Amino acid sequence: MKNQYSIPMLPNIQNQQDRLAEIFRQRDNQITQESKVAFLKIQSWQFAMRTPEIGQSYLKEAASMIKQSLLSFVPNTFILSEEGYYIDQVEN
């Protein structure tokens, strides 16, 4: 009888659990870092509002920065393109 080597069958669907876990961990770290930066900016703003020594120019500059970054209009197409909506086909 010949010595036969058994070749394991590859699964039909590859397990991507490790890759998905790594992507989740990276995004979670990024969100945590961005949250810390946002919290520090909010604390700085609150400090500036309570400190009478801060000049009016600083308050005007901070207010304009907030309006430009948080309250500015962004078209839907820009957000969709940034998220990669137009790169791949959409599956329903």
- pLDDT at res. 3: 62
Q: Is 86:80 a contact under the CB 8 Å cutoff?
A: yes
Cα–Cα–Cα angle for 59, 62, 68, rounded to 5 degrees: 140
**Among 40, 50, 34, which Cα is nearest to 59's?**
50
Q: Is 48:54 a contact under the CB 8 Å cutoff?
A: yes
Give the mean pLDDT per block of 10 residues along the chain (92 residues): 66 75 93 93 79 71 78 80 77 55
Task: Write out the two tokens for 23.
Answer: 């992507």
- pLDDT at res. 91: 61
- pLDDT at res. 90: 61
**b/e per residue, 54-70, with b = 16+ CB within 10 A?**
eeeeeeeebeeeeeeee
- pLDDT at res. 4: 67
Task: Write out the two tokens for 45.
Answer: 């703003």
pTM of the model: 0.45
